[in-house]
Amino acid sequence: MQVVLAFLGALSAGVLPVEAEIAQNRDFNSGSFRSQDIPELAQEVIRKVRAVRESRFDSGSGLQVRCATGIMIEASALSPGADLPSIHEQLLARPSNSQIYDSPAGLIRLHYDVAGTHAVPGADQDSSGTPDFIERMALIADSSWTTIVTHLGYLAPPVDDGRGGDDRYDIYFQNINAFGFTQSETAGPAAWNDFSSYIVCHNTFQGFPPNDDPEGDAIGTAKASLAHEIFHAVQFGYDKADEFWFMESSAGWMEEIVFDETNDNYNVLPDFFARPEVALTSNSLQTLRVYGTFIWALFLSERFDTTLLRQVWEGARFKDASEALADTLQLRFGVTRDEAYSEFVTWLHLSGQRDDGTRFSEGAGYPNMNVSAAWNEYPVANTLSAKSPAGYASGSVRFSPGLADGDLKLSLDGFNGRNWSGFVISTRNQIEHEIKWFTLDSDQRGSLVVNNFETYDELTLVALNLSIYTSQASFVYSAEIAGPQGVAVVVAGDSVAYTLAMNPVGMRLANLSATEDSFAISISASGGWTFTSLPLEQITLQAGLDSLIVGRVIPPAGTLPGAISVARLRANSLTNPSISDSVAVLQVVSVKRGDPNWDGRLNIADVTYLISRLFHGGAAPAPEELAGDPDCNGKVNIGDVVFIIARLFTGGPAPPCQPIDPLG
């Protein structure tokens, strides 16, 4: 990246070699640490656990907790030292509830209170002696368990040797500051890192963000939480200490699989789509983004197969989930993990308003992907990315044609300490897209050309850092219009337009080739403006000659001053389809001085209109007072009537402050 080497020198100072950085960033949730060895970290973990479990979450901490399983995993990694001898007993112990209820399928034991801090809603419409809330939670839990274990074939969570009274799986309902969490307990019987566990869920599921569940927000939150946490319990049966972001990703995905209509996880998508530069593998709870990673697991299931995630978790018993995913993708589908991630990013960019119905099944309901910079004037010289993507993250830039014509050459240059990929999405009509990939050399540089840039609404350049588990790195991009070959057109005429008037737009067309050529001429206009037929739809020019072509565009009735349209005149060679050029003529509506009745023409009717206004209380000039002031003295009076009459009948002057002649 020679062109910005000096600029990036400061950024790259102190950066670890990629291999060392990967090793540093992959130390996820593994092993344990003694609290006396790093007391500040231990105290922070304890504070977070208490904030969740003791219902006094500190809103100033910056944490945003839906599922608190990650916090409990951190706490489980603590080994109590002399200063904290009872950390596990005090903070990780099972809650104590006074009531129990076994689910109809006999799979789950629910623990709850009917009075006090942790009381569940007490309504009992069927007079069964068990709150309706608990009966409904039991059915939701049974449904989640049956879908995950029975229908999808995942391993059931290891039994807990009767710690909740028997070997049914235990769910406790408490007044906590989260939807819920899953807590691991003791090592299971398998040869891998399996652990028994229990779940704690909120005791009412009220007061959380809304969702789309037909049974209401509280039940929707309960469905999302129970499906999510039961899948965490299943994950602990495979590996209790795998990559937490992947545990969250697949648990959030399971909400969609078990209760698709709820869409509670849509609440976390804005944060995910707003920060594409943050690593997919980030475990941070400082934002909601880690929960939004469910969209990655959803992509994998919709793009490949629903069973893919189960096979990944089966592999995760013996290696990291990301490695198991790479193996499964390669063996089953012949796709590398990098290729899958790159395609995933294209799906993200073609969601929301750009959804074309061919990718995410519910993509039209997702947010729009954030773009960090936008351009509409060219050239764009080598420019450092406004956002620097971490490993398995991306940055993007948008280009709109504006008045540009011709082919747009885009270049991408990634920081050499990373592996990069990149693509350009060319968009018409918001949902018509073409994707073109950069071919990058060993220095992570490449370029591509988008032909006829002006025919697209916008182009989106996306750069991807494919060095997983690495920190943020910058990229450089540029954009320039490639010159036309064989033909050139330039603007001829003014940019002023009047509402309802036939406003001239022109181009001068030159044949740059060495031989005679014939050209097809066309015109278009944006913003709903109409245009008249061109005087020539085809023209033949000798080599080196040029010709003036003038068309007319008409702003619709009611178009106010300041409104803009881009009229585009195009010339296409009839002998060589690759030779074409066009010109964009910016048209800005102005008040037509001397046209107070706002019909787009200057005639005797305007005289009558002003006389009615001045002497009979008629309507005011439209669209504003200036239309009745052709002599430009700032007043509407009899002098303006005289001015219009002179202009119409005796060759009087045009309005002195008017950009172009209203009669022209």
Cα–Cα dist 70/232, whole Å: 10
**pLDDT, average across residues 544-556:** 92
Closest-CA residue to 180 (of 210, 196, 161, 204) = 204
How far, CA to CA in Å, does 236 sit from each of 152, 187, 279, 314, 542? 17, 10, 24, 12, 79
User: What CATH number is given for 592-664 in this structure?
Assistant: 1.10.1330.10
Cα–Cα dist 84/69, whole Å: 21
Dump pLDDT digits (tens) for 559-579. 999 999 988 888 999 988 878
Structural domain boundaries of the chain? 1-29+336-483, 487-589, 592-664
Asked if 326 contacts 334 with a C-beta cutoff of 8 angstroms, the reply is: no
What is the reported pLDDT for 82? 45
CATH number for 487-589 (one of 2.60.40.10, 2.60.40.1180, 3.40.50.300, 3.40.50.1010): it is: 2.60.40.10
- The strands making up 530-531's β-sheet, listed across from edge to edge, are 487-492, 503-511, 546-554, 530-531
Cα–Cα dist 313/190, whole Å: 15
What is the reported pLDDT for 583? 83
Kindly report the average pLDDT of the chain as a whole number. Answer: 88
With a cut of 90, say whether residue 312 has pLDDT above it. yes
With a cut of 50, say whether residue 543 has pLDDT above it. yes
Asked if 313 contacts 154 with a C-beta cutoff of 8 angstroms, the reply is: yes
Cα–Cα dist 598/621, whole Å: 8
Cα–Cα dist 630/623, whole Å: 14
Residue 456: pLDDT band by 50, 70, 90 thresholds?
A: very high
With a cut of 70, say whether residue 334 has pLDDT above it. yes
What is the reported pLDDT for 197? 96
Establish whether domains 487-589 and 592-664 are of one fold.
Answer: no
Task: Return the ∠ at Cα 400 (arms to 272 and 2), rounded to 5°.
Answer: 75
Dump pLDDT digits (tens) for 336-368. 999 999 999 999 999 999 999 999 999 999 999
Dump pLDDT digits (tens) for 2-61. 333 332 232 333 333 444 444 444 343 434 444 444 567 677 787 888 888 875 444 444
Query: What crossing angle do the helices spanning 244-258 and 69-76 adopt, rounded to 10°?
Result: 140
Dump pLDDT digits (tens) for 439-451. 999 989 999 999 9
- The strands making up 475-482's β-sheet, listed across from edge to edge, are 380-384, 475-482, 407-414, 445-450
pTM, rounded to two decimals:
0.77
With a cut of 60, say whether residue 493 has pLDDT above it. yes
Domain 1-29+336-483 is in which class?
mainly beta
Dump pLDDT digits (tens) for 226-252. 999 999 999 999 999 899 999 999 999
Dump pLDDT digits (tens) for 119-151. 999 999 999 999 999 999 999 999 999 999 999
What is the reported pLDDT for 64? 59
What is the reported pLDDT for 294? 98
What is the reported pLDDT for 640? 94
